[in-house]
Structure 1
Amino acid sequence: MNPAPAVANPCLNICRLDVAGRYCQGCGRTPLEIGTWDRMTDARRAEVLAELPARQPWRRAQAASAS
């Protein structure tokens, strides 16, 4: 049995791409990141999560209110 990953999946079940087709409007990941999430290392997942606030303005507001 495999242990649970240390970095949780950011999926919000709002699965649609933005107008440009670059990022998911729910989680902010690219289609490639979504498709390869299960095979990424925890370090790479953490990198992706760190990039999400810059991709979505509402995430920047969330991050600011959490600090």
Structure 2
Amino acid sequence: MSMNDKVRSPCVAVCALDENDMCIGCQRTGDEILYWTRMTNEERREVLRKVAEREKKVAL
């Protein structure tokens, strides 16, 4: 994938926000989901880094 390709959404079609405003499917916050289409690729990559960290915490 080239750096110019759009970073794809981590959505897994399990869309439900928990009491902390975190999607139980993709681990994004409500705001991250809301603004995803307006984010730059670098902003999206930062969200994906945060998602990876959240997934590690959930796995513990």
- Tell me the TM-score normalized by structure 1: 0.70
Aligned length: 55
**Residue of structure 2 equivalent to 1:48:** 47
Larger Rg: 1
Q: Secondary structure at the match of 2:44?
A: helix
Distance in 2, Cα, partners of 1:10 & 1:25: 12
Matches within 5 A, 1:18-37: 18=18, 20-37=19-36
In structure 1, runs of 5+ residues without a counterpart are 61-67
Greater relative contact order (CA < 8 Å, ≥ 6 in sequence): 2
- Look up the equivalent residue of 2:11 and give its one-letter code: C
| Distance in structure 2 (CA, Å) of the matches to 1:9 and 1:23 | 15
Aligned partners of 1:31, 1:49: CA distance in 2, in Å? 14
For the residue of structure 2 that corresponds to 1:43, the secondary structure is helix
Matched residue, 1:13: 13
Tell me which stretches of 4 or more aligned residues in structure 1 moved more than 3 Å: none
Note the aligned Cα RMSD (angstroms): 1.9
Structure 2, unaligned runs of 5 or more: none
Counting aligned pairs with the same residue, the percent is: 40
